[in-house]
Structure 1
Amino acid sequence: MKSILITNAQLVNEGKCFSSDILVKGQYIEKIAGKINAEEADHVVDVQGKFVLPGAIDDQVHFREPGLTHKANIYTESRAAVAGGVTSFMEMPNTVPNTLTQKLLEQKYEIAKNTSLANYSFFMGASNDNIEEVLRTPKDKVCGVKVFMGSSTGNMLVDNEQTLENLFSRVPMLIATHCEDEATVRKNTEEYRRKYGEDVPISCHPLIRSEEACYKSSSMAVALAKKHGAQLHILHISTAKELSLFENKTPLADKKITAEACIHHMWFNDTDYDKKGTLIKWNPAVKTKHDQEAIFQAVLDGTIDVVATDHAPHTLEEKNNNYFNAPSGGPLVQHSLPAMLEFHHQGKISIEKIVEKMCHNPAILFDIEKRGYLREGYFADLVVVDTDNPWTVTRENIYAKCGWSPFEGQQFSSKVLHTIVSGHLVYSDGKFDEGQKGERLLFSR
């Protein structure tokens, strides 16, 4: 077994920051101690007081494979992930074809097994007519079931009332939802089309995909979950109003209804449309400064449980279109941890809280086996970050296949130096070692 000793580190784990060495043997953390003999390791990395964090776990990405690989694929986007300190991802089912059968789901796992540099899991997709396939999903080997309660790609809008009742009453694992009320969005779309024709300003996006659309759908999902005792996780909360649906008194391990915030809803608000245009067109939309600030506060106080990206790349050619023709989504997985650490530099959040929201809490929420923490006997998913190493996002240092980022031109104060995935030093000082692939995530359910 290969072994790696990380020495002179500042470990951040379980609410504490402390000086320690950490020894990795094979895929696992063998020892965490104040001083470990260098002779115990094949390879020594002296990090000279830099921070060592558990690898970030991103519970919502779209890596576009199969079917949309002109935009991205599992290899390119997992490469961007590990360069940004994300060691595990959970990928969404709205690929082509949509992941609506167990056979199609396993085909994605086979692709990842051969190409992904990060650890991986894939959501099973729900439609109005595949409930029996959904119920065959192995809960110990798959992260969850994804339900689009709002417009989506292909046959994945679930708007049939009986289907929703079936899903929430019968699915024995986590249900993750995209919540925007389709009828409200369509009504708003027609209203703005009547006003502007085909030249609707991008600034109208949060008015079309409105607070009302989000709250109506989210509150419906919460009501269904409460009625049936389902485990519900609502993705990418974008409004202050929706926060009333969640609570922060219950420990996360005991919560049945949870919420996610995404980087873009914490970083941008509707005043940024003038400068960024369709590059920050997402569903749900980036909304007001009030919403942005409320979401950030909810991350701090535990109302929102995890921070992720909804990484969803498109080509620049696709994005450089008018409002109706520009698709929603953008690449974020490489820059999520640097962006959160920038908030730390601004005094808005502690590094311990960042680790809680991006590493510990996804592991708790999804019952991931032996990941998300710096613990002896756990998988060695580690990230070394230098919080005093300014760099600027440019086209030349973007690893996502689409080659652009909404953060282009942004200077970050913190840099990912090294990333270890399941015991393998996959990224170090800007270079990749692709000799070992990531592992399939397993779940203790």
Structure 2
Amino acid sequence: MSKQKLSKHKIHSLLNLSWIETNPNDVVFINSLKRKILLIVLPITSAILLLFTLITLIANNSHLNVFYKYTFNITLGNLVFILPLFLMLWWALLLVEKKWYNHSFSWFDKTIKFSYENFKKQLLKVLFYAFVVIVLIDHISLYFANDIYQSFEFQFSNTKNLFNGGFWKNTALNEYSEFNFKHVGFIIEPLFNLLYLLGFSSLFPIIACIVLIVIFALDVYYVNIIKRPLVKLTKLSLPEFIQKVKNQEQCVVYGQSLKKYLDFLFASARALKITYQSLSISNLEKLIFKSLENTQNASKIITQINKESQINKNHLKEENKFTQEPQVTQENSQNLKLNHQNNIKSVFDTAEFSYSDTKIKVPQENNLASSQVEYNLEEKTKSRKFSEKSHEIDDFSPIWEDK
């Protein structure tokens, strides 16, 4: 393998992390009354807005024009074409919820995954922000298209021209049955007009639009631009991070991708003799990437993790096979299972929260069969031999040296 410069993205590729994965927790889908209502109301509303607009334009009937003008046109203007699109996107998110509710989805990072419920909330926020920005851009465009700027721009005495040139000019001042789409409706237009009054020009609305795009983008990226929960997580140490995510104190799902990545960080820290307990995850990542230097060294650690994982699976198979034998009682089978569970945890869980005692302890119960004691001794010996041979398995560094 070529020695490529190490980055978080390359680590994700080496670990074969996925963007979507099945939720590790049992999630029960609840078809709420609110969802049922929205699944009906949203498409009907969109259909009414679009179909009624098309019928009115095609029919060109004076009575129909009057009705449409003073219902849909005066309130929404050209938003009658924009609003249905966002309503149907909202409807689509609700429609697929039943299929994807037990999956988790990445949020700009394959290790940071949200449940579908939280993922849907973030996407709805994106839709709302996009709608606000598009409507503001539309309003600024109409400001120039309707030539309002000619009679208002930096002319402090012509404030009324700002309000007369929009929906008022294109609805009330027209013939009784005439209407057009050169406005955004009387609900939104007055609110956006206030932006022009702040500087008596279009300069402030344009700046406001750019600022809103930046703020909205940051708020989406950080989930919450003020609280920034994902950033706070990276400031925690590895054990603190695990504890919070496992206890579901954060919106992040503790799934397979995150476990694999944390295993890599933990194994790398031990291989490089880094005291990770006192470091934040962000600083630990920087130190590990700098120390490993390239993907070849990272691959060695990942290979070691995979080997340990395979041995754990083999132990689990042996344990299941042994516990199914008829001569082993249920009570003793439980004791053996507890002994084996120490060896089938993830790399991080095993080493961080329960350093295994290498001394072999023989149970004091008199009813424990000698064959079972021998089996425990044999399994303990296997585990110890693997630790002792870890230097030979991975010549890059002794990952398991302090076990």
Pairwise TM-score range, normalised by the shorter structure: under 0.3
Higher strand share: 1
Structure possessing the higher relative contact order (Cα contacts under 8 Å, 6 or more residues apart):
1
Larger radius of gyration: 2
- Scaled by the length of structure 2, the TM-score of the pair is 0.20
Q: Point out the structure with the larger helix share.
A: 2
TM-score normalized by structure 1?
A: 0.19
